[in-house]
């Protein structure tokens, strides 16, 4: 392995830059291998061209507890296409090299555990990754991962939810780095009519425990909702809406144009506070 270290610092400066411009960062989620590995890489380039500041690459999983039907559909397509962790790493590498934006991997814990913690963290750093979002890794069981991630310059992003008590929030945010992922609603990902007060309250309670940026995901699908969340959060995370545009498109070229356009609308939304 060459001596790359990860891009956790790039992630921090990107989020700080958005704040200095008095706006929220736009964070786009796309699954690796969807519609194909190359198509997924092209989709990342398209959302960044449209205005995404940070990208999350999903590691497709056959039993996704947090993901709603739209992302499950995309994951199924990727898994049927034979996507592997090596393809996830290639997606990170090519996305980062083409765009220069911070690229994180969002994954359940089991695939990392099976692959090997040291191997996964070393390869992710070597690919230029900025870190991992780990929605189902309990903080109290995360020490070994965090040790390897820290050694390789990778951020560890934990997910907090409206059900998290204040004391629990403090434990989670103390262990995390990069940013805190605030899940705006109980339940699974998907688009919602309103993201609303529960999210605002969660951001306020989370901010009371940490100086890390707090980014809100689950439910944002249009510019109006992006603007609403940008009014109280450091970042707006959008996934299902991008995936849905690609699923609904008649062909890959139309899908890429659709996600680029959506990123443009959302990027405008996070700037109008």
Q: Which of 18-22, 33-37, 221-225 has the lowest mean pLDDT?
A: 221-225
pLDDT band at 192 (very low <50, low <70, confident <90, very high): low
What CA–CA distance (Å, rounded) separates 93 from 198?
36
Say if CB 130 and CB 103 are below 8 A apart: yes
Q: Return the SS3 of 118.
A: helix
Residue-wise burial string across 206-242, b where 16 or more C-beta atoms lie within 10 A, e elsewhere: bbebbebbbbbbbbbbebebbbbbbebbbbbbbbbbb
- Residue 74: CA count within 13 A, CB half-sphere: 32
pLDDT at residue number 194? 57
- Buried b / exposed e over 86-97, threshold 16 CB at 10 Å, is ebbbbbbbbbbe
Instruction: Examine residue 252 and say whether the peptide bond preceding it is cis (omega within 30 degrees of 0).
Output: no
pLDDT at 66: 65
pLDDT of residue 1: 37
Q: What pLDDT is attached to residue 273?
A: 64
User: For residues 105 and 91, what is the distance between their CA atoms, to the nearest angstrom?
Assistant: 10
Q: Report how far residue 27's alpha carbon sits from residue 34's, in angstroms, rounded to the nearest whole number.
A: 18
Kindly report the CATH number that applies to the domain delimited by 7-157+235-271. Answer: 3.20.20.70
Question: What is the C-alpha end-to-end distance of the chain, expressed in Å?
Answer: 44
Q: What's the rounded Cα separation, in Å, for the pair 141 and 133?
A: 15
pLDDT at 240: 93
For 67-122, the pLDDT digits (tens) are: 788 999 999 999 999 999 999 999 999 999 999 999 999 999 999 999 999 999 99
Banded model confidence at residue 197, pLDDT cuts 50, 70, 90: confident
Mean pLDDT value across residues 128-155: 96
Instruction: Return mean pLDDT, the chain.
Output: 92
Which residues are catalytically annotated?
Answer: 56, 67
Which of the four pLDDT bands, split at 50, 70 and 90, describes residue 4?
low
pLDDT-derived band at 32, boundaries 50, 70, 90? very high
Which residues 6+ apart lie within 8 Å of 37 measured at CB? 81, 83, 87, 90, 91
Environment class of 26 (CB within 10 Å of its CB; exposed 0-12, middle 13-18, buried 19+) = buried
Mean pLDDT of 43-50: 98
Average pLDDT on 38-52 reads 98
Quick one: pLDDT at residue 218? 77
Domain ranges of the chain: 7-157+235-271
For residues 219-225, average pLDDT = 90
């Amino acid at each position: 392995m060459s001596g790359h270290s990860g891009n956790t610092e790039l992630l921090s400066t990107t989020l700080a830059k958005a704040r200095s411009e008095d706006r929220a960062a736009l964070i786009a989620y796309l699954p690796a291998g969807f519609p194909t590995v190359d198509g997924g890489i092209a989709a990342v380039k398209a959302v960044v061209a449209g205005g995404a500041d940070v990208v999350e690459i999903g590691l497709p999983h056959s039993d996704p507890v947090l993901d709603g039907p739209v992302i499950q559909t995309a994951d199924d397509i990727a898994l049927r296409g034979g996507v592997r962790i090596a393809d996830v790493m290639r997606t990170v590498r090519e996305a980062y090299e083409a765009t220069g934006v911070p690229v994180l991997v969002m994954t359940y814990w089991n695939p990392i555990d099976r692959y090997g913690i040291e191997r996964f963290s070393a390869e992710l750093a070597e690919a230029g990754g900025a870190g991992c979002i780990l929605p189902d890794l309990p903080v109290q069981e995360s020490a070994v991962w965090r040790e390897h991630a820290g050694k390789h310059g990778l951020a560890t992003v934990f997910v907090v939810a409206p059900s998290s008590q204040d004391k629990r929030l403090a434990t989670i945010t103390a262990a995390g780095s990069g940013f805190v992922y605030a899940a705006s609603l109980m339940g699974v990902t998907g688009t919602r009519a309103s993201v609303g007060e529960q999210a605002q309250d969660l951001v306020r309670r989370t901010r009371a425990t940490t100086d890390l940026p707090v980014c809100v995901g689950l439910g944002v699908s249009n510019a109006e909702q992006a603007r609403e969340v940008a009014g109280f959060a450091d970042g707006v995370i959008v996934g299902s809406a991008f995936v849905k545009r690609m699923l609904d498109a008649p062909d890959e070229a139309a899908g890429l144009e659709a996600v680029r356009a959506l990123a443009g609308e959302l990027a405008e939304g996070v700037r109008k506070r």
